[in-house]
Structure 1
Amino acid sequence: MQPGKSTTTSAGPPRTELLAAARGLESAIDADLAAARPRIEAVVDQARRRRDPEALAWGLRARAIALRYTGDPAGAARLLGQALAVARRAGNDSLRAWVLASRSSVLLDLGRTARSRTDAAEALRIVDARRATERGLDDLHVRVRLQLAVMDHNAGRLREAEAGYRSILGEVPPDTTDAVRVANNLALVLVARTEYGEALRWAQRAVDDAVRLSPSLRSWPYLTRALIRVHTGGLADGLRDLERAARAATEAGQPPGEYYLEYAETMRELRLLPEAAAAGRRALDELVAGGDGLVVVDALVSLADTLLLLGDAAGAVENAEQARARARAQRRPGSHDRAVLIHVRARRLGGTAAPADLAAVGRAARRLERSHEMGDAADAYLEGGRLAAALGLPRRAVRHLDTAATLAQRGPLSVRLRGRLAAALAARLRGSDDGVLAACRTGLRDLARHRDTLPTMELRALASGHGAQLGELGLEVVVRRGSPAAVLRWMEQTRAAALQTAGDADPGGARGDRQDTAEAGADAASDGRTSDGAPADGTPTAGVVARRSVIVADDAQAADARRSAWLEGVVTPRGSVTRAPGPDAVRAALGTRVLVEYGRYGDRLVAVVVERTRARVVDLGEVLPDVEGTLRALVFALRRMVDPRSPAAVDAARASADLRLRRLRSVLVEPLGVGPDVELVVVPVGLLHGAPWSALHDGPVALAPSAASWLRTAGPAPVSRGQVVLVAGPGLQGAQDEVEALRGLHARVQVLGAGASRADVVVDAIAGADLAHLACHGALRSDNPMFSSVELADGPVTVQELHRAGAAPQRLVLASCHSGADVAYDGDEVLGLVSAMLSRGTRGVVASIAAVPDVEVVDLMLALHRRLVAGQTMARALHGARGEIDRGTPGGFVNWCTFSAHGAA
């Protein structure tokens, strides 16, 4: 929230030149803080030498205002105490009122709300007594009323705060500092009430006025407009506003704590949770260091919310408890109740919640509703409903959930989806399957429309997580009803939806993203500016570039690439929802193959099996914990076999791997009742994307992110030109030998050896190839799969860069470590190199989910390519090639186990 600050008094007949200069100091600070500092010190020095208490009090007040601007409210409070004592000695009550008003603002920053209100009330008493007989106090009267409205705002009395702001706006002229602050704060009240249309109008007015005044006023309106734009789907515009806010704060010498806090909120809304946590911690550090006790509470609540979403319940509780204690001391019930909500949610998820927690969250929900904080109130009622249901109180649960659904009808996407979730949970408690499906369908359609507006595949995949619980609730109902067609369509409406909307390719993407941050800053310095002071293309200055690394705190290049994609990505509209394929459409493309699509709700796995003459649903039971533990042990065993320490260790690892493979077969494949030699098309879900599917079934296996994705790869192939590109990366013992051996199998072939495989050359070559083969080092980023990479001659090329460049050969062989290890996200999404290539139009991929023994892989690749030349699909060629592997060697077994085919080509 933008704090209240004092303005200059109306000009009157000056007693002396020194007094006139002293009274004008705050205007100088608003115009240019750095230039004002010498003037402040000169006034204070002259006032002390001349023993002029009135000028000294004005000068000390100005020095305090400068300290507050630069993040030292505690120092400002000490100076204002001195100024107040001097003003009393001078016997000037009006001056004392100005100092009291300024100290009230600083004390509020420090979280000392009772003392802040006392100072504001005393200032208002003085002003009301003297306004009739003394000119120049109208500005101060507005200022103190604004300060009292801010206190109501912080205390959660939104109706009173809104009334105060609107009353003040009727009195203050536009293009003044007061007009900026009041309009900005009114916008924030309207955001809390989920009145986004009017909020944006007031935020825009605050921005317009601030731009005409000074940099010191601009950062808060930009932050407010960014909040509104991100919450209402204007991601790129919101990010540009965040950068403008950072630039304005830098120019004004203001600390960056509130900028980091808003960035953390934005990252959480986008479900970039590690980045949100990094930004939240930086915000908290800055605010604590600056002594900004009021906003520290907001930062603690925000970080606690993020940590809970990341699964760190202990960290969430610790921060929520600190926030609760501070908010109680500051008499801020709204912040206190948000902290209570996070604490109770953590206890429910941990299975330790009790009836006392239900009572606490109920009180919080009612207070938030009374204060018109509708989004937070809806969240609290939803939590109360879930907790009541867990405690065996269905009637109370339904009441809470119904209220949550009603309150959440307006607001940003995340709030509306929580409302749909509340409605679905209430319908389930009532026993209404139709009600569950109606709420889930409405919420998922809303999510699909939002997802289609996002500029990158990564953001679309993350957005799907908002609807994960709706998807599971609906799947539970359609499985219970037993229709295979309904189950398949339900799974398909959310499965890998992020891959269905492809941003326009940037042919220079693989090179353009590699521009370093210093170059970006230099470019920005020479660009023209828009009317609001931002660069014409939205590129931030060098100082802002340094700050924006908070997007990925430990990876500046990834942060820059992400920002570029978010701001420049173009989405191709395709309507709200793509119709999910049913069994008939799938069956027509399968031929003799069988499709198996897995789904999950809770710990239960189900599968739809689509065969030539029928489709059926197979309930595999609550096996997910078993599968997760088995996969973890298998990955560990395979890792030991890639880097064996002794023959005994190899034998133990092989025995462990065989045991785990048998267990996975028995749980995931054998219950399906398909023939051992049948060719399968497998659509995994969640952690099943990390299973070694080729080793779990005796026949050929092809994987796909979704049935719809597989159908796209099964369509008519473009006219073949027979072009093959073979690429060897640097630093691999067998890579060059591998591509040289493969060269002789193909008629039209281009070989790019370790020294020639530069990123731009490789991208250009593979983009039009019928078959591309990359024998390179691979680096997996499970935390950020779009920044997993393959190593080329001039350095790593990330999935993000390849995807933006639109490099999509018809078929692709990735003889690289972990190249097939796509990462699953909530909402049935998957991201990684394979899914990115399939989304760009590649029709078949072979890749490994684990480390690749580079010498042993050569024989596998030769056998694979011989079959590809003979016209086999990727799945059949890989199946045959795996049959030639000597599984008695550790490297041979790992390659047999971990390579998989993807797509239909």
Structure 2
Amino acid sequence: MQVGTSTGGVAEGARADRAALVVDARALEAALDADAADLPARVADVVERARRADEPEALAWGLRAWAVLRRRDNDPAGAVRLLREARTVAQRDGRPVLEAWVLASRSVAELERGRTTRARADAEAALALAERAAPDDRDGARAVHARVQLQLAVMEHNAGRLVDAEARYRAFLREVPADSPDAVRGANNLAVLLVARADFDEALVWAERAVAAAAGLAPSLRSWPHLTRALVHVQAGRLAAGLRDLERAAAASEAAGQSSAEYYVEYADAMREMRLLPEAVAAGERALTELAAAGAGLVAVDAEISLAETLLMTGDAERAVLHAEGARARARAQRRPGTHDRAVVVAAEARLHTAAASVADLAAARRAARRLHASGDVAAAAGAALVSGRVAAALGLDRQAVAALRSAADLGRRGSLPVRIRARLAAALVARSAGADAAVLAECRAGLRDLARHRAALPTMELRALASGHGAELGELGLDVVVRQGSAARVLRWMEQTRAAALLARLPVDDLDPTPSPDRARPVTHAAGGPIPAGGPVPAGGPVARSVIVADEQGAAEARRSAWLREVGPAGPVAHRVPGIVDLRAALDGRVLVEYGRHEGRLVAVVVTARGARVVDVGPAEAEVAQQLRALVFALRRLVDPRGPAAAAAARTSADLRLAVLRRLLVEPLAVDPADELVVVPVGLLHGVPWSALHDGPVGLAPSATTWARSRARTADGSGGVVLVAGPGLHGAQEEVDVLRRLHPDALVLGAGESVADRVVRAVATADLAHLACHGSLRADNPMFSAVVLADGPVTVQELHRAGVAPRRLVLASCHSGADVAYAGDEVLGLVSAVLARGTAGVVASIAAVPDVEVVDLMRALHERLAVGETMARALHGARATVDRDTPAGFVNWCTFGAHGAA
């Protein structure tokens, strides 16, 4: 009796233990969504106990959870192996619903590996098992049925079949509780899809729902909706809101320990949308590297297409072709037609840029456009149609070109700003093919107005200048029309409407941070983006510190991030007033305006004199100008520090030759009087030309005629004095300031030890005349982070611009201080343009390195003339005449300093 009782007690205890084990195993499903910190240990414990107790149900659940963890550790192949065992266990135990859960998980892992056929087969098998579930297991069957429906929607989405994916997402969202983790995934993915369809309003509604539903859930689920809402905001032109959501996604991702790779794909797309191309390339390359290392074949293809699109915008068409072709082959192997078609289009466009596009490319791009349109991906279809039209035009197939361009114009009217601009471009190209000049101009104007509204909402001068690049082709198309029409007034007006628009806005002024920016950025990690897998996000093995701004050193990264997060209030009218020729002629007061433009591969100039205005065809000179400039810069660099008389003589001969060629190419076609005082408005690489050395009379420079006229209106009001600043570590700077002090006895002087940033900025900001003798640091890749070096470190152009520094006149006796950088869309950024934008009326600066000691004589002669009321251009012209050009240093100073503005 006692033995029997004891045996029964042991059996009951064993049954209770097994039941508890099954409860623990089933609870792992909820724990996977909760980001439980002890989850790996719990999973290992369940699997070990299940094997020891020979409990198949618990073992299958445990193996499934273990597989999910392996997948999150970027090991989808390892996850598949575990799930294969889990399925065998569930089958042998006769548990179809559990087997369906295992197959659903294996479908996710196979999809991540790019095995789409296997993924779909597993999903469909899981659906069949759920539908055959016993009556007592209906709740579990309904749950797995909903999860698989989400997985099938994700497959359609990744394949580019957006119409089918949208229907599945909407059906799924009707089936699941609105506050469930799966509802968050479904709402998020539907929002992503609606962005591709250019339905930003509804996309924002679903993204907001996902954010709200995820608020009480685990960090890994919170990161995705913020990332998607960021995508919606950026596509709709709301940069600050988008970047805030990116940072919220990053914070949630850090808490969840997620991989950063897929985040960088989305981040690269956002940066490309803003034409922040160095950041986009760096983010795209990082994403691709991490995804390739993790074996994430599905997302790696998307990352490669994204990187190819960015490289194409940077002008690197050869690398773009390589990446696009690689992505095309892998997408084909993954049976993802939509992704394959996107890669085909990028490859065709890249070959078009290298003059290698063929009839085969045209046929492939046309097929891609049709399929993308049928799938519901409107933005991609519009881009494909535009590429088809341009390839057809390049091949001389005019009828096919017009048909494709019309399709692009119709499809792209509702997309993001770049999509809308390309639609206007397509329509303008159609009108040009028909010889309808008025229609060309109408489309160009409409697109540029749209761009102006977008630009006005951006928070920094840098972002506004970059945004102008979206309209570069529209500007050139319109210029081509007005040049052919022959009216100098209309040509000048068109140039001015598209010239240096970013400099004309009055942005808010901030105090300069009294502490130098640290060389570090706030470390964050990032969340994954795109459609969320039905099985949830993919954490990696713990947080990894990363800078949000990936293309700059860390201190600059934090400064840019801070600037981008600023909100801009209502812009009011976005069109700036362009002065007419009559008003300009009055402001010029005897000077001659020369404004250059570029169209159809040729340079053109409008010349405005006291007697009239004319258009001059300068010719296809840009390539030769670029070659001569490179050689001239090299010669000037050698003359700053010659290695001996023979080297100096050779460099001087080369420099004289280059200047003579540049004068022949750029000035002689204008037929201006050598003694005329010129106001030159360059375009593109012409901003790097030493204009004072090409013309015998005085020369003033300006980013646009409008900017020059505005600077002409600022006159001395007696409220500001003279400020003289010597920077640290610059041989001759203190001597220079001491010499100038004798000419300006009442000046405020800040010597090398006193020239800390805060004091200099406060003193210079409202001075009538400021002189900075200090080291300059050029950042040609990012001119807003070029800097002048003061006693407590470098102060960047961005910091000076944000602080509103705008003396009436400014002399920059520092290296490369006048080397502003031209951007697409006829914009220019740098120290000179930054202070002109804030209201400075006259600047003298050098486009190259400055011989430190020898520049003192030039500066003294300049200030002697400024002190008697001469303008910057006339004072510099007179000062240059006193320079001994027979010495290497004297020649460099004579050649490289230029005057900007009218004061």
- Tell me the equivalent position of 1:455: 459
Deviations 1:841-861 (A, max 9, x none): 111100000000011100000
Separation in 2, partners of 1:722, 1:294: 63
3-state SS, counterpart of residue 568 of structure 1: coil
Conserved? CA contact 1:341–1:364, under 8 Å? yes
- Tell me the equivalent position of 2:717: 719
Separation in 1, partners of 2:264, 2:720: 52
- CA offset at residue 664 of structure 1? 1.3
Give 1:95's match in structure 2, choosing from 88, 94, 98.
98
The alpha-carbon distance between structure 1 residues 410 and 285, as it changes in their structure 2 partners (threshold 3 A), is same
- CA offset at residue 572 of structure 1? 6.8
- CA offset at residue 168 of structure 1? 1.2
3-state SS, counterpart of residue 760 of structure 2: helix
Deviations 1:521-567 (A, max 9, x none): 79x9xxxxxxxxxxxxxxxxxx9994234x24341111111001111
Note if 1:194 corresponds to 2:194.
no
- CA offset at residue 32 of structure 1? 2.5
- CA offset at residue 158 of structure 1? 1.2
Structure 2 residue identity aligned to 1:698: D
- Tell me the equivalent position of 1:10: none
Which has the higher relative contact order, 1 or 2, with Cα contacts under 8 A spaced 6 or more apart? 2
The alpha-carbon distance between structure 1 residues 842 and 352, as it changes in their structure 2 partners (threshold 3 A), is same
- Tell me the equivalent position of 1:743: 741
- CA offset at residue 162 of structure 1? 0.8
Separation in 2, partners of 1:147, 1:517: 41
Give 2:385's match in structure 1, choosing from 381, 386, 391.
381
- Tell me the equivalent position of 1:491: 495
- Tell me the equivalent position of 1:547: 546
The alpha-carbon distance between structure 1 residues 294 and 14, as it changes in their structure 2 partners (threshold 3 A), is farther
The alpha-carbon distance between structure 1 residues 272 and 194, as it changes in their structure 2 partners (threshold 3 A), is same
Separation in 2, partners of 1:86, 1:339: 42
- CA offset at residue 582 of structure 1? 1.7
Give 1:760's match in structure 2, choosing from 758, 761, 765.
758
- Tell me the equivalent position of 1:280: 284
Conserved? CA contact 1:287–1:293, under 8 Å? yes
Conserved? CA contact 2:207–2:225, under 8 Å? yes
Deviations 1:632-689 (A, max 9, x none): 2111111111121221221111111111111111121122122111111111000000
- Tell me the equivalent position of 2:56: 53
- CA offset at residue 36 of structure 1? 1.9
- Tell me the equivalent position of 1:175: 179
The alpha-carbon distance between structure 1 residues 388 and 674, as it changes in their structure 2 partners (threshold 3 A), is same
- Tell me the equivalent position of 1:568: 566
3-state SS, counterpart of residue 488 of structure 1: helix
Separation in 1, partners of 2:214, 2:72: 16
- Tell me the equivalent position of 2:536: none
Note if 1:886 corresponds to 2:884.
yes
- CA offset at residue 131 of structure 1? 5.7
Separation in 2, partners of 1:68, 1:489: 60
- Tell me the equivalent position of 1:413: 417
Conserved? CA contact 1:485–1:583, under 8 Å? yes
Separation in 2, partners of 1:869, 1:157: 72
Separation in 2, partners of 1:710, 1:131: 82
Conserved? CA contact 2:478–2:494, under 8 Å? yes
Aligned sequence identity (%): 65
3-state SS, counterpart of residue 753 of structure 2: coil
- Decide which moves more: 706-715 or 211-220: 211-220
Conserved? CA contact 1:609–1:617, under 8 Å? yes
The alpha-carbon distance between structure 1 residues 512 and 571, as it changes in their structure 2 partners (threshold 3 A), is farther
Structure 1 residue identity aligned to 2:250: A
Separation in 1, partners of 2:207, 2:173: 13
- CA offset at residue 273 of structure 1? 0.9
Structure 2 residue identity aligned to 1:319: H
- Tell me the equivalent position of 2:640: 642
Alignment: residue pair count:
871
- Decide which moves more: 841-850 or 75-84: 75-84
Structure 2 residue identity aligned to 1:122: A
Conserved? CA contact 2:480–2:600, under 8 Å? no
- Tell me the equivalent position of 1:691: 689
Conserved? CA contact 1:246–1:544, under 8 Å? no
Separation in 2, partners of 1:241, 1:259: 12
Conserved? CA contact 2:764–2:770, under 8 Å? yes
Separation in 2, partners of 1:570, 1:147: 41
Conserved? CA contact 1:504–1:572, under 8 Å? no
- Decide which moves more: 423-432 or 87-96: 87-96
- CA offset at residue 414 of structure 1? 0.3
Separation in 2, partners of 1:121, 1:14: 35
The alpha-carbon distance between structure 1 residues 793 and 544, as it changes in their structure 2 partners (threshold 3 A), is farther
Note if 1:130 corresponds to 2:133.
yes
The alpha-carbon distance between structure 1 residues 275 and 858, as it changes in their structure 2 partners (threshold 3 A), is same
Separation in 2, partners of 1:400, 1:417: 16
Separation in 1, partners of 2:718, 2:567: 30
3-state SS, counterpart of residue 754 of structure 1: coil
Summarize the alignment of residues 317-716 of structure 1 with structure 2, pairs less than 5 Å apart.
317-509=321-513, 511=514, 514-515=517-518, 517=520, 546-549=545-548, 551-568=549-566, 570=568, 573-716=571-714
Structure 2 residue identity aligned to 1:733: H
Separation in 1, partners of 2:352, 2:640: 42
Separation in 2, partners of 1:87, 1:386: 57
The alpha-carbon distance between structure 1 residues 547 and 654, as it changes in their structure 2 partners (threshold 3 A), is same
Given the two structures, how large is their TM-score scaled by the length of structure 2?
0.94
3-state SS, counterpart of residue 812 of structure 1: strand
Structure 2 residue identity aligned to 1:684: P
- CA offset at residue 14 of structure 1? 11
Aligned-residue RMSD, C-alpha: 1.7
Structure 2 residue identity aligned to 1:129: R
- Decide which moves more: 67-76 or 323-332: 67-76
- Decide which moves more: 318-327 or 876-885: 318-327
Structure 1 residue identity aligned to 2:779: R
Give 1:895's match in structure 2, choosing from 893, 896, 899.
893
Conserved? CA contact 1:501–1:574, under 8 Å? no
- Decide which moves more: 389-398 or 287-296: 287-296
Separation in 1, partners of 2:651, 2:420: 49
Conserved? CA contact 2:43–2:65, under 8 Å? yes
Separation in 2, partners of 1:14, 1:179: 35
Separation in 2, partners of 1:290, 1:500: 48
The alpha-carbon distance between structure 1 residues 521 and 272, as it changes in their structure 2 partners (threshold 3 A), is closer
Separation in 2, partners of 1:308, 1:411: 20
Conserved? CA contact 1:513–1:561, under 8 Å? no
- CA offset at residue 568 of structure 1? 2.5
- Decide which moves more: 70-79 or 362-371: 70-79
Conserved? CA contact 1:71–1:254, under 8 Å? no
Separation in 2, partners of 1:251, 1:179: 21
- Tell me the equivalent position of 1:294: 298
Deviations 1:171-193 (A, max 9, x none): 21111011111111111221111
The alpha-carbon distance between structure 1 residues 685 and 572, as it changes in their structure 2 partners (threshold 3 A), is farther
Conserved? CA contact 2:516–2:792, under 8 Å? no
Given the two structures, how large is their TM-score scaled by the length of structure 1?
0.94
Conserved? CA contact 1:725–1:769, under 8 Å? yes
Unaligned runs of at least 5 residues, structure 1: 1-12, 525-542
Conserved? CA contact 2:523–2:547, under 8 Å? no
- Tell me the equivalent position of 2:6: none
Summarize the alignment of residues 217-236 of structure 1 with structure 2, pairs less than 5 Å apart.
217-236=221-240
- Tell me the equivalent position of 1:530: none
- CA offset at residue 816 of structure 1? 0.4
- Tell me the equivalent position of 2:168: 164
Conserved? CA contact 1:219–1:246, under 8 Å? yes
Separation in 1, partners of 2:766, 2:426: 49
Structure 1 residue identity aligned to 2:703: P
Give 2:821's match in structure 1, choosing from 817, 820, 823.
823
- Tell me the equivalent position of 1:185: 189
Note if 1:215 corresponds to 2:219.
yes
Conserved? CA contact 1:452–1:460, under 8 Å? yes
